[in-house]
Structure formats: structure tokens, C-alpha cells
Amino acid sequence: MDRTQGLDVDPEASLTDVPSDFEDKSTSDSTGEKNPHPGDTDATAALPTLPHQSKDEQQSPVSRSGNDVDIPLRYRILAFSMILFFATGSSFMQAVASPLKSTFKKQLGITNAQYGTISSASSLVNTILPIIGGIGMDYWGATYAAIISSVFILVGAIIAAISANVSSYGMLVSGLILMGFGSTVIESTQSKLYAHWFKGSSLAFVFALDIAWSRVTSVFSKASAIPMSEINGWWGWALWIPTIVCGFNMAFVLIYWWYERVVPKAYRPLLGKDARVQEGWDRRKFSLTTLWRLPKLFWIFCGTQMFQNAAVGVYSSNLADIQTYTRGTSTLAAGYNTSLQGVIPIVLTPVTGLFFDRVGWRMPFVSWTAMLYIIVFSLINFTTVHPLAPILLSSFALTTNAIVFIACIPILVGNDALLGTAFGVWKAFANANSIVLDVASGAIQDQTSNGSYDNVMYLIIAIKCLQICLGPIYDYLDGRWLGHSLRLPEKKRVALREDALEKEVDYPGWRVDKRVTYTVGIQLSGLIIVAWVVYIVYSLGT
């Protein structure tokens, strides 16, 4: 069956072919507002040397109109090799929580709901902070945001590790919350920096490599959590070793900051005043009103992903304990089994990213991933098959779970100047969802007389059933509102956006719609309030 049937735009059509209900505002050659989202155009033509140009500016292939430069591959690779490690330490610290659930409950004397506050502690402040951090990142630059974030991560990790020395549940939660001030923001800085260095060439592939590295970190963390907790007979090493890694990550951030200052000026991400002038912020002040510049399809995308990422998080954070409960698997074996779900994505996630860059067709993977997870949730809890069967199957779902959404955000926003804010909103939704569902699932399990996971699994299966329907809906809206940009490979989708900006073609999906912004904004605000309330209530054990 032809999957384009019934849709308004043929993704293979010329980029200048626009649906009739799109408004073309151009009446002459482009002489108006500067293109805020340029692609990888040919900017290597000889330019006149101006008296005030520096040597770097004279020698660099940069357009005076503000178009992107053609950054040499060696600069991109060096930047990537440092940016990749920004969040490794915080990811390491957060990933050890799942295999250590039984250890935390025993050593700290906590309930399942209180464990939920541990697994989502760093997400608490990140229900709000990513939005503020994202706006600040767009205003002052991603590098400075990364430095500040790494400081919070290191200090928070140290406090969390000290909690093992004094057996303090409150100190552990406090340290993870403080670490949360930086953990999500630093991930957004990575995304914005990747968009600078790789837009128009291999952006989805680079996002995928970043996710693959996160899987490597996750596999190692979960496989090593129990052995680390047994070093010298003291479980605290499972927290101190990730803390040491956080220190090394801060060093990588500082090295990258130095690197930005030694590469030719034309290749650097815009910072401070330069960024505000070139990206149209020169007359603006730091303000939350930046949220009103985000387009409507992006808001719809965020609002309809309610609890989808959280359902996967509930499964992953409880996977080791589910094996112990349903099959009597030892804690050590369950930890090793759990770590295996991250093995296959290490290889296949970059392949998926490369597929998006070269072929496109992102939205079918939304429904495909949801179907796989429904099968996984059913097998792990309602059958007695060997746990490796659903765990390995879940690794295929994990391959496409995150990369689809991360790769779509730059397309949905359509303006690199707003990417920090957009990723911040996305992270805020994700973290608020995680807190509510993590704590709720723990409370649901506590209400079960025998501690069964049945009711929890019914809930997250229902959530994933909804996502199966969302894939076709997103694809339909993409066709009507964005000219099927989400179906296009990276170069073609950048060309389509540039063509729309040059000819002032008004694609509906990139419009700002106050009604949509209000509706989803109220949804996010309510979700954040609920997240804080349930977190405070259950972290106090009441």
C-alpha cells in the first residue's frame, strides 16, 4: 500500500511545490528579514577583504549575510570527541539506581514509592530549569551553560556519594536534586552544539552516536552497579566511582571551552552579543516570552507525548526487581540481564540516525517502537519465559525510542536560534512525566498486597497503546503543515526550510499559534505542579 495516499504533499516532489493552502508571501527577490535558519549552502566563494576583518575572518569561508560556513571535518570531529562526554558522569550516577533498588531499600529502609523519588530525584528541578536554561543557552551560548551545569553535577554527585557514608536517605535525594540542576541542561547544550557543528550533513547520525554512547554508559553502569556495591563489602563505592567520573567530565567541558577559543572565529558557535545580533536577539532581553516564538506543531508534539518516555523509564528502572520478583533471579544476575538491553542500541542507534539522514521517514518508527514495548511489557511480567527474551527484544525498541524524537525537534522548530529553548521545553515535559509516573507506579505497587507489578504493567501498556496511534497522526500533520519535512533526508529537509524562508512560504506547522501555546503551556504547568506535589509527599514517606 502506498503510504503517501491521502496526504497532501508528495515528499519526492520539487521543493518549490507547495500545497495550495500554504501562503506564499514573497513578491520579489528576498530583501527582507535575514534567514534565521540557514543550511549548508556554498559559502566558499571568494569574499572581499574588509579593513576591519581579522586574519581568521579573511581566510574563513563565511558569508557576510550570516549564512553557515562549511566547517572542515577535522574541526567537527574534534568538537564531537569532547561534547560526547559532557553528560557521561551524570548518566552513570543515574543509571546505577535501577540495579541498586534492593540495596537502597535495605540500607536506607525505604518503600517502593520512596525509591521512586530516588530514581527521579534529578528530574525534580528539571521540570522547570531546562526551560530557563534553554532560554539562557540561546541568549548567552551553550558552552557557558555547559560549564555551569557541570559544576552543579559534580557538587551534587559528591553530596549523593557522601550519603552512603552516613546512611542518609535525605542526603542522597538532596545530592541527586542538586545534580539535577545540571544534568538535563547539559544534555540540551550537547544537542545545541551538535546542531551547530553538523546541521545539514549528519545531524541525526551524530545525535544517534550520542545516544549510543549513553547506551554504552548505561550498559556499563547497570552491569557494574552490584559489583561496585560489593567492593570491600561497602555499597558506597557504587556512588563514589560515578562521582569521580563526573569530575573528569567537567574537565572535558573546560577543554572544549578552550578549544572554541583556538579554532577560526568563523567556525565557532555564536556567543553573547554576537549571537544576539546575528540571530535577531540584539534588541531583546532574557525573557520567558521566548516560549511564544516556538511553533505550534512543536507544542502539539510535546503535549501529545504525555507519559510516553516515562512508561519506558518505569520499565527500565524496575526491570531488575521485576526479574527477582517474577522469576526469583538473583540480584547480581538481574543486574547483568538488565544491562544487556543497552547492547544492541550501541550499534543500531547510529544506523537508525544514518537512515534518517539519508532516507528520512521518521514517524513510522514512533508506532513501531510502541508495539515492541507492549510485547516486552507483557512478556516480562505476565509470562515465565526467560527474561533475556523480552530484554533483548526491548533493546530493539530502545534503539528507536529516543532518536526519533531528538532528531525531529530541530525540524519541528525550524530555527536554530530557538533550539535551546525547544530542547528545554521537551526536557521539562519528559522530567515532569517521569516524576509523576515513577512515583505513581511505586505507590500503585505498594497498594498491591503481594507487591505485584501487574497493575503497573497494565498502566504502561495502556500508555503505549496510545502511542501506536500517534505515529500516523504525526505523519498526517507533517504532510499538511510541514511539506513532509519529517519524511525527508537531512539535506532535503534543510533545503526545503531554506527555500521556504527565501520565498517567504508560510508553512502552517512553523507558525506560532497562541491557542496551542496556551493549551499545552497550561498542560505543562499543571503537570509540573502535580510532579512537585507527589514528589514532596512521597519523599517524606507520607
Residue 76 makes CB contacts below 8 A (sequence gap 6+) with 197, 198
- CA 286, 292, 294, 300 torsion-angle sign: positive
Radius of gyration in angstroms for the set of CA atoms belonging to the chain, rounded to a whole number: 23
Identify the pLDDT of residue 277. 52
Per the listing, cell 530557563 goes with 132
* CA separation for the pair 541, 213 (Å, rounded): 36
**CA angle 323-326-328, nearest 5°?**
70
Identify the pLDDT of residue 35. 41
For residue 460, give the nearest of 374, 372, 354 by alpha carbon.
374
**CA angle 323-327-329, nearest 5°?**
65
Per the listing, cell 535525594 goes with 173
Beta pairing partners, 24: 505
* CA separation for the pair 341, 330 (Å, rounded): 18
Whether 285 and 65 have beta carbons less than 8 Å apart is answered as no
Identify the pLDDT of residue 130. 84
* CA separation for the pair 192, 145 (Å, rounded): 11
- What secondary structure, in 3-state letters, does 322-342 show? HHHHHHCCCHHHHHHHHHHHH
Specify the pTM.
0.74
CA distances, 21 to each of 8, 335, 462, 504 (Å): 10, 55, 36, 14
Whether 419 and 413 have beta carbons less than 8 Å apart is answered as yes
Whether 182 and 150 have beta carbons less than 8 Å apart is answered as yes
What does 205-264 look like in DSSP terms, one character per residue? HHHHHHHHHHHHHHHHHHHHHHHHHTGGG-TTHHHHHHHHHHHHHHHHHHHHHHHHTTS-
Which amino acid would we find at residue 542?
T
Whether 321 and 480 have beta carbons less than 8 Å apart is answered as no
* CA separation for the pair 229, 236 (Å, rounded): 6
Side-chain half-sphere CA neighbours of 498 within 13 A: 15
Q: Which domains does the chain have, with CATH numbers?
A: 70-539 (1.20.1250.20)
Identify the pLDDT of residue 47. 35
* CA separation for the pair 430, 185 (Å, rounded): 13
* CA separation for the pair 330, 327 (Å, rounded): 9
Whether 196 and 316 have beta carbons less than 8 Å apart is answered as no
Identify the pLDDT of residue 475. 96
Length in residues, the chain: 542
* CA separation for the pair 497, 499 (Å, rounded): 5
Per-residue pLDDT of the chain (542 residues; tens, 9 = 90+): 444 333 344 444 444 344 444 444 444 443 334 443 333 333 333 333 333 334 443 443 433 333 456 788 899 999 999 999 999 998 888 888 777 877 888 888 777 767 767 766 666 677 888 888 888 888 778 888 899 999 999 999 999 899 888 888 888 888 888 888 888 789 889 988 998 888 877 888 999 999 889 888 877 887 888 889 888 888 889 889 999 999 999 999 999 999 998 988 888 886 544 545 554 444 445 567 789 999 999 999 999 999 999 999 999 888 988 999 999 888 878 878 887 887 888 889 999 999 999 999 999 999 999 999 999 999 999 999 999 999 999 999 989 998 999 999 999 998 888 888 999 899 899 989 988 998 888 888 888 878 889 999 999 999 999 999 999 999 999 999 999 999 999 889 989 998 998 888 899 999 999 999 999 999 999 999 998 888 777 765 54
Cα of 106 vs its chain's centroid, Å: 33
Identify the pLDDT of residue 4. 39
Identify the pLDDT of residue 121. 67
Identify the pLDDT of residue 363. 95
Q: Long-range pairs for 495-503 at CB < 8 Å and ≥24 separation?
A: 495/15, 495/39, 496/15, 497/37, 497/39, 497/414, 498/35, 498/37, 498/38, 498/39, 498/41, 499/15, 499/16, 500/18, 501/35, 501/36, 501/37, 502/26, 502/30, 502/35, 503/16, 503/24, 503/26, 503/30
Identify the pLDDT of residue 120. 64
Q: Which helix (H) or strand (E) holds 24?
A: strand 23-24
- CA 490, 491, 496, 498 torsion-angle sign: positive
Identify the pLDDT of residue 136. 81
